[in-house]
Chains A and B, each alone.
Chain A
Amino acid sequence: MKFLGLGATALSVIALTATAASARDQVQVAGSSTVLPYSTIVAELFGENTDFATPVIESGGSSTGLRRFCEGVGPNTIDIANSSRAMRETEVAECAANGVTDIIEVRFGYDGIVFASAADGNEFALTPADVFNALAARRVVDGAVVDNTATNWAEVNPDLPDQEILVFVPGTRHGTREVFEEKVIIQGCADSGAKEVFEAELSEEDAKEACVRLRTDGRSIDIDGDYTETLARIGSSPNGIGVFGLSFYENNTDTLRVATINGVVPSTETISSGEYPVSRPLFFYVKKAHIGVIPGLKEFAEFFVSDAIAGPNGPLAAYGLVSDPELASVQQTVADEVTMQ
């Protein structure tokens, strides 16, 4: 009896407070796992240095974050979506269909994508063409399209070490995969001359498809988890090469050795100068309708892109972010709440 009485009391208390629960007083963010560490660093500093509550940050991937962002307007929806790629047309349309029309796009910096292998293994000096020839399902040898059967890096390019081909690439749910395909595989496809051959045989769309189709014989392995999984896989198969974000590599330089691309060592300097070819912008999207409703939302966005945080000497750059050379205009965008067209 006592149990039931207690339970009933608890229920009524909860029901009462549920109706009384007001709008939340902290910013809610969700999205890209690449942006997550930057976002948590800023949130931590924001909570420490202002009177606002520390924002709550969820991970889950760029696409998941943007989908939740587009669910609608109101305190039950998130205020900011982190994304490691620009929002797609279809996503903007979905947002608009749910009433999320005014979106502020904030590009706060760039992130490099690096190839790294076990620290005590061979050194690699790769080019996009090498990676394409090693990983593509079909490549071009002496003008003819053949199935890729290369098992050794030296087979792809005699200058590369005599090591088995085994690459851990990000799975398709990651924003990183898109950049990897665009900046490495398609580039390599063009550089190696394979694209021309494909285009001669197929339509343009199919040629692109043929370029990005990776081999499925176990030489190229999709990793759907995070970079920590890739790191663990390299730990268990020392011949493997993994695709990482620059900041992740910089935190694990004791166990990883980075490969150069076109002879350039990836670093925040070489990426911001444009010498290192594989990088992508990082974004977060702010729901304008929530500014003024959720306390601290605009302040958080402004704090995020301020010189002290996202500038070249700020804590984000120390973590591995390549700061945006046009940060001043980004700050202006946030200050004026300029929405996407």
Chain B
Amino acid sequence: MTDLSSNPVKAVPSARPNSGSLYQRDTRTRRRNAAEKRFRAYGLTAILIAVLALAFLVTTIIRDGSGAFRQTYLSIPVALDAEILDPQGNRDPAQMASVLTLSYGQVLDRALDRAVADLNLQIPGLQDGDVDGLVSRDASAQLRRMVLDNPELVGQTVDVNVLVNGRIDGYFKGRVTMQSAERDSNVSPQQLLLAEALRDEGLLVTRFNREFLTNADASDQRPEAAGVGVAMLGSLYMMLVVLFLAVPIGVAASIYLEEFAPKNRITDIIEVNISNLAAVPSIVFGILGLAVFINFVGLPQSAPIVGGLVLTLMTLPTIIIATRAALKSVPPSIRDAALGVGASKMQTVFHHVLPLAMPGILTGTIIGLAQALGETAPLLLIGMVAFVREFPAAPPEGLFDPASALPVQVYNWTQRSDPAFVERASGAIIVLLVFLLCMNLLAIYLRRKFERRW
């Protein structure tokens, strides 16, 4: 830039001799060309830095997070001991429900011990407790659900496919090594050797983990069972609320402001305020949401409806600004022509201006939605940054059930003590990025599809 401005004509009067030949570049032309080259180089460097940063971000996330989409499972036969699981012996599900998952853990431990003994594996230094620690704590819950759904299974031996403990799973993903296992109080190298032997026998399989997308969050003790199901549903519900509230309100407001409202001091003030609101930190909307929707209106905490309402407030300015810009870009000749053939003002707007402005409106809306999808701060105050395991019901009732959200899930998982949650958090980021990518692709597609040229 300095080159351009420090290059006034009077500074280099002698550098421009009237030699005349157009084939010979004079000093001034050379400087101008050099300045342009430099500018291009700066631009290219900027883009290159941005691309490198993005590539770094994406590769780290994919490297850390791809593991979340693969999970290790163990299939073993389990003898469902009637003495433990149905002490009354009458197969009454109501009475069998009093048997806690902890008892199912015992059943599972026995089955494991037997399976390992049957295989006759020789692993030096293997201790009794090591075999039990192989499967996830979620496995006993899975077994209990299975038995309560079908009490007739008690007394039989069934083949089950259960999750493997997070540390063992981490070993097959390269997160846990023999060296780290030696220092780790939660896993021993013998367990890893045993797991390897079981894998060689074909009992232990690492496969695609669909459950990551459908499971709810899990506690610190079973990272292997944690999934983004509830969070995805919560995010979806919030986006529905935002879509159904922010779009009509935002578009209506912009049409009125742009086409009907008189241009006076009041509309000027409103305009300034809208631009201002677009830049207000999102946490402010969270405080507002807590005060208005929860404390005043009495809506429940942790509910997607409140999250959706807060995000609606946050997205409205973005949508209004984008819509007004789109309406402004429709040439006045269209309006004049419509009015000229006798259309009313409203007909002009809805039949001619709005359809032409639609691509711009859609793009603005989708960008606003994408922004809302990634928001965590306003959700903190309305109780959505929480551990939620129950899936919300179908809308509209489900909008009032507690739910989490995708960015919240990422935030929650980065705070857990078990290192396996790092992988989960990155996995959730991948899901979030895929969502955002889809939304942006949709925005581009819609814009292309409805685009008009004059």
Contacts and interface: CB of A to CB of B under 8 A. Distances in A.
B141 A48 contact: yes
Contacts of A49: 97, 100-101, 144
B69 interface: no
B245 interface: yes
30 contacts: A4-B251, A7-B248, A8-B248, A11-B245, A14-B241, A17-B396, A21-B300, A28-B301, A41-B219, A44-B218, A44-B219, A44-B389, A45-B100, A48-B141, A48-B144, A49-B144, A54-B390, A56-B386, A56-B390, A57-B387, A76-B299, A76-B300, A227-B417, A248-B417, A251-B186, A251-B417, A252-B419, A254-B184, A255-B180, A315-B137
A1 B181 contact: no
A318 B387 CA distance: 21
Interface residues of A, number: 56
A255 B249 CA distance: 53
A221 B370 CA distance: 37
Contacts of A18: 297, 299, 305, 400
B301 A4 contact: no
A37 B416 contact: yes
B126 to A, nearest CB: 20
A164 B402 CA distance: 48
A33 interface: yes
Given A48-B144, A56-B387, A248-B417, A7 B183 contact: no
A10 B419 CA distance: 43
Contacts of B298: 76
Contacts of A11: 244-245
B244 A6 contact: yes
A19 B118 CA distance: 61
A19 to B, nearest CB: 10
Contacts of A48: 101, 141, 144-145
Nearest to A54: B389
A6 B246 CA distance: 12
B150 interface: no
Contacts of B418: 251
Contact size range, B: 35 or more
Interface string B232-271: 0000000001001101110110000000000000000000
A24 B301 CA distance: 9
Contact of B245 (A10, A26, A56, A226): A10
A76 B295 contact: yes
Given A58-B302, A58-B385, A59-B415, 20 more contacts: A3-B251, A7-B249, A17-B396, A17-B397, A21-B400, A37-B416, A41-B221, A43-B219, A44-B222, A53-B390, A56-B388, A58-B386, A58-B387, A76-B300, A226-B415, A250-B186, A251-B419, A253-B185, A255-B419, A318-B221
Given A36-B387, A254-B180, A3 B417 contact: no
Looking at chain A's contact residues, the main secondary structure is helix
B220 A37 contact: yes
Given A59-B415, A251-B186, A308-B102, A7 B245 contact: yes
A142 to B, nearest CB: 41
A60 B412 CA distance: 11
